[in-house]
Amino acid sequence: MKLLICVALVAAVVTAQTLTDEQKAKWKKWREECREETGVSSEGINQLRTNHFDNVDDKIKAQSLCFGRKSGLINESGDVLADQIKIKLKRVAVDDDEVDRIIKKCVVKKDTPEETAFQTFKCLREEKPKFSPV
């Protein structure tokens, strides 16, 4: 019985985190638009997608910034918009306390907008591997 409840819970969580077709389409569109702008390699795209954050080059960081802007999580001057990230984080976090803790930890301004975007994304994904910016 306990196992059944567990399985049902996991299924519910997995379903909740699955992106809709509309989200997937946006994701693809923004990724391609940004790829044209940044010249990031497919390998770089894969690194971001699969949470492999070692050996990232400048193009991967530029891709993070571009994607963050497209998805409205970073403004034109390169500031991370914590309130917007909160909305997306709530979908994958346990509760509001966890959201606040992660925001405090991850939204930290670095030397350049590219670095800020990348480090913020990395941190969010390390906390919540299923975090979706879309």
Residues that bind ligand NAG (CB under 6 A): 75-77, 79, 81
* Residue 87 CB, nearest approach to ligand NAG (Å): 14
* Residue 107 CB, nearest approach to ligand NAG (Å): 10
Residue 50 or residue 75: which is nearer to ligand NAG going by CB? 75
Among candidates 81, 118, 84, 124, which has minimal Cα distance to 102?
124
* Residue 71 CB, nearest approach to ligand NAG (Å): 15
Residue 81 or residue 123: which is nearer to ligand NAG going by CB? 81
Lookup: tokens for 21: 């077709």
Residue 23 or residue 75: which is nearer to ligand NAG going by CB? 75
Compute the distance between CA of residue 30 and CA of residue 32 in angstroms, rounded to an integer: 5
Q: Cα(first)–Cα(last) distance of the chain, in Å?
A: 36
SS3 110: coil
Residue 27 or residue 67: which is nearer to ligand NAG going by CB? 67
How many angstroms separate the Cα of 125 from the Cα of each of 52, 105, 129, 132?
10, 12, 4, 9
* Residue 122 CB, nearest approach to ligand NAG (Å): 20
